[in-house]
Amino acid sequence: MNEKACLTCHLISTGSICPRCKTPTLSDDFSGIIIVFDPEGSVIAKVMNIKEKGRYALKVR
Ligand SMILES: [Zn+2]
């Protein structure tokens, strides 16, 4: 499974287009996976402007 992270919203997915923001700007060069279960209660989610559950990369290059 070849996972990629979106350069725009940092969501990790396996497709060729980000399922969240529909952009093709994905990179397989990312580090630091965070899993957000509760976007409302997560400080990291707030800092990263994450509003939906999912797996996100901390850094995407
Ligand atoms: Zn995205």
22 alpha carbon – ligand 1 mean position (Å): 6
pLDDT at 33: 95
* Maximum distance among all Cα pairs of the chain, rounded to whole angstroms: 30
7 alpha carbon – ligand 1 mean position (Å): 7
13 alpha carbon – ligand 1 mean position (Å): 9
11-37 tens-digit pLDDT = 999 999 999 999 999 999 999 999 999
For the domain spanning 4-60, the CATH number is 2.20.28.90
Domain coordinates of the chain in residue numbers?
4-60
* Sign, CA torsion 25/3/30/9: positive
**pLDDT band with cut points at 50, 70 and 90 for residue 61:** very high
